[in-house]
A and B are shown apart, each in its own frame.
Chain A
Amino acid sequence: MARKTPVLKVTNLKKAFGPVVIVDGFNLEVAPGEAVALTGRNGAGKSTVLRCLVGADRPDDGTVEVNGVPVSETNPQIRRDVATVIDDLDFFPDLSVVEHLDLLARAHGIPDADDAVDEVLQEVQLVPQSGQLPGTLSSGQRRRLALATAFIRPRKLLILDEPEQRLDTEGVEWLAARLVAERARGLAIVMASHEPMLVERVATRIVRLGDRAEVLADE
């Protein structure tokens, strides 16, 4: 069977911080409907790989392409196609939970923004906090809001860095089910995770990374 055209193509990615090489020659292709879980011990380079994938860090060498377009953090096409939840959970300090989702949905041109916001708010169980400002949310609620911002907008590729962090057990269960549903709808997912249940349920491929993001196993 012919392999689908990859949504994400990473070729020979290299990244160093000063003399310390973090990623050395990382390659990856992710097709639509595929969910790749990056696993490995702390410091293996998972987060650095993900930051290069979304354009938050510039690779020293190698290429990252999403649907054939080289990744740049400022490219609107990439911003349209790639939804990310990586470590920096940034919010407007003066906008409430519901206003963040509303703004994002409208910025992406969602026609029934109000309905979409209500649905996503219910799903992430933040309805009681809809008027709260982000500075007063608990860390778990902030994580739910960050995940909601990824689900309220159109996307072809979802990049998540330890999305289970700070979520309660019920939250991790919900996240796993949600990501399985996303995958089933043809979305490509790349996530780094230390949660075996999430990896087992969501991932179609598990890429185990060693030092310098060397691929030890791709199964």
Chain B
Amino acid sequence: MSKKSRKLIRATPAADAGPAVPVAVPVPDEPERTFYFLPDAEPLPVDEKDLHAEMKLWRHGRATRTIGQVIQDSYVMLFSVVMIGAMATSVVLRAQGSLVGCDTESCVSGRLLLPTATLFACWALALGLARLFGPVLASAAEGSWLMDAPISRRRLLRGRLVPPLALSFGIAGLATGLVGALSGLTWLQVLAWAAAAAAGSAALVAFAASEQPRERVVVTKALQAVFGAAALGVLLVVVSVAAGWLPGSVVSEAGGAAWALAGVAAAALVALVVLLRLAVSRLEQIRRARLVSGGSLVSGMQGAMFALDFGLIRDILVERRMAEKGHVRPTRGAGLGLMALVWRDVERLKRNPSAFLGLAMSLLVPYAADALRMSQLNPLISGLALVAGLVPFLGSLRVLTRTGGLARSFPFKTAQLRTASMAVPAVLALLWGLAATPAFIGIASTGADRSVTNGLGVALITALAGLFGAVRWVTAKKVDYQTPMMATASGALPPGLIFNLFRGLDMVLLVTGPLILQLPMYWSLGIAVIVFVGLRGSFNMDDLRAEQEAAQRDLAAAKQAKAAPTKIPRPGR
């Protein structure tokens, strides 16, 4: 026993020291509690089918409208779909009619190669999206509540394979079929291309699903790169044949290719069945984290989609990619003030070389458009392609526009910050314009026929239009639901929501509009100057309001001083 304990014992009164005096010690009232424990019995086996049925029942219970009511409410949308469908069909039939006389090398190569490029692009896209989302996914709630239970993941999740497979099959088939139809292929040939694209995409998604439980992405990534490169290569061949750099004989007969594609479709269907069985058998080992990440991504993107905020969708994807990357080799900056911001953007170019691939692909568009006899619309089409190519280079502008906290940290005016963030993309746009100049002068015998100066001018204006479109797209503000709403057939909508659909497109259309309408070039230049002044935030409403308030305060102070009786100091005696 320690000394301290002994001391304590001695300090307490001994039991026989005298008669015990009863002391009333307050005892806290313990509330009576009852506890429930599970009965000592083995839990019954869970039927995943029943679980699914119950979840379906809950969801139905939450529904507030019937399908009939939804269709009734969205009649405007349905009407629009029917109208657009009719227009698309008419365009396809007209294209088929006009392409009957297509006998030049560039025209024939375009007919054959554009659907092939679309097919490869669909395959690459299917793999990319499958890798991004899962393809098998579960919501965060399902991850928390269901995955803990002793249930068979294979039985619970196998139904989840159907939507990605169906989507990839349908979208790839439709897209390739539509491009084939627009290119003037016969209906049988269209069917062969569409079937190959659809079955191939579904098989590739099934392959990604079979790799998901193993958490392997190397082969998926490699295949995606191969198909992406193939799409790019095919587009290059279209341009090269049109420009006369390659003989038209490199392109074989469309009929023969159709038979080959039918074979590809059959092989892909067999692969789909085999890979699907493999994917289902591996579902049991899938990790919860791998399932839920795709689900969270979908729910985040759904939220952004409801606000038609495509920039936010991109933000979510960028955040996710960066979180996966986690770590970079830090580089020190250079320069002071605004130069430091510009230099950091230069450093970003080295860090993100894949963005150049998109820019390079966008450079193909003006050449392809010229080769396909779309010279009149070339500035608009190429400008839009450049918007997509330049967006990845406008990361700092995007963050500084969207996040007030960061912008507040920099000691510059909004216009200065924006101009500095546009500097590097502007140089890239200029280079793009120079590289695209031959396309605007005219490479194909059927394309544009402009002078060198004129072609250079059009190319540079198109580059400016693409830059401004990209800047407009990334600087889009969040939709403000506090503003007065517009009444529409789909309910009340904030006006900003509708404008989100046209962000970027509006700038390209404004700047290239005069070129399309064959007005003198200085019209486009004049509009470009006005657009630039607006986009760099020279007319920042907050600044203007602050200046107005300051002026009002000065005026009020001056009025007050005038109204106050003037005191004349008495001369000292």
Contact = CB atoms under 8 A, between A and B. Distances in A.
A70 interface: yes
Given A55-B408, A76-B413, A131-B329, A106 B335 contact: yes
Interface string B400-439: 0001111111111110100000000000000000000000
Contacts of A102: 332-333
A84 B408 contact: yes
Most buried by B among A58, A84, A89, A135: A135
Nearest to B339: A106
Given A94-B352, A135-B323, A89 B330 contact: no
A107 B410 contact: yes
Contacts of A75: 543, 546
Interface in A143-159: 149, 153
B405 A86 contact: yes
B410 A104 contact: yes
Interface in B269-298: none
B282 to A, nearest CB: 29
Contact of A133 (B325, B411, B549): B325
Interface residues of B, number: 49
B344 interface: yes
Contacts of A19: none
A54 interface: yes
Given A70-B550, A84-B405, A106-B340, A131 B327 contact: yes
Nearest to A90: B403
Contact of A92 (B323, B326, B395, B411): B395
B155 interface: no
A96 B542 CA distance: 31
Contacts of B329: 131
Contacts of B52: none
A74 interface: yes
Contacts of B550: 70
B406 A91 contact: yes
A216 interface: no
Interface in B530-573: 540, 542-543, 545-546, 549-550, 553
Contacts of B410: 79, 104, 107
A107 B336 CA distance: 6
B225 interface: no
B330 A130 contact: yes
Contacts of B336: 106-107, 109-111, 113
Given A94-B395, A104-B409, A106-B337, A72 B404 contact: no
B348 interface: yes
A56 interface: yes
Contact of B318 (A56, A93, A99, A108): A93
A8 to B, nearest CB: 16
A96 B348 CA distance: 11
A56 B325 CA distance: 32
Contacts of B399: 90-93
A147 to B, nearest CB: 12
Contacts of B332: 102, 114
A98 interface: yes
Contacts of B549: 70
A58 B546 CA distance: 10
A131 B328 contact: yes
B180 to A, nearest CB: 39
A28 interface: no
Contacts of A79: 408-412
Nearest to A88: B405
A122 B153 CA distance: 47
A132 B329 CA distance: 9
Nearest to A89: B405
A139 B331 CA distance: 24
Contact of A74 (B319, B396, B413): B413
User: Interface extent on A, as a size class?
Assistant: 35 or more
A99 B411 contact: no
Given A72-B543, A73-B404, A133-B327, A93 B322 contact: yes
B414 A74 contact: yes
Contacts of B396: 92
Nearest to B341: A107
B340 A136 contact: no
A211 B403 CA distance: 29
A17 B407 CA distance: 24
B521 interface: no
A91 B396 CA distance: 10
B391 to A, nearest CB: 14
A80 interface: yes
A63 interface: yes
A74 B547 CA distance: 11
Contacts of A108: 411
Interface in A26-65: 54-56, 58, 63
Determine which residue in A58, A91, A93, A130 has the highest number of CB atoms from chain B within 10 A of its CB, and name it.
Answer: A93
B327, B330, B332: residue with the most chain A Cβ atoms closer than 10 Å = B330
A145 to B, nearest CB: 12
B542 A72 contact: yes
A207 B306 CA distance: 43
Contact of B330 (A91, A111, A131): A131
A61 B338 CA distance: 34
A154 to B, nearest CB: 8
A74 B416 CA distance: 11
A14 to B, nearest CB: 14
A109 B319 contact: no
Contacts of A181: none
A124 interface: no
B160 interface: no
A132 B338 CA distance: 24
Given A56-B404, A92-B395, A74 B322 contact: no
A107 B337 contact: yes
Nearest to B547: A72
Contacts of B325: 133
Contacts of A136: 323, 326-327
A99 B330 contact: yes
Nearest to A86: B405
A90 B404 CA distance: 8
A133 B413 CA distance: 27
Given A107-B338, A133-B323, A92 B406 contact: yes
B214 interface: no
12 contacts: A74-B542, A79-B411, A79-B412, A84-B408, A90-B404, A93-B322, A94-B318, A99-B331, A104-B410, A113-B333, A133-B323, A149-B409
10 smallest A-B Cβ distances: which pairs? Answer: A106-B340, A90-B403, A72-B546, A80-B411, A135-B323, A90-B405, A93-B322, A88-B405, A98-B330, A136-B326
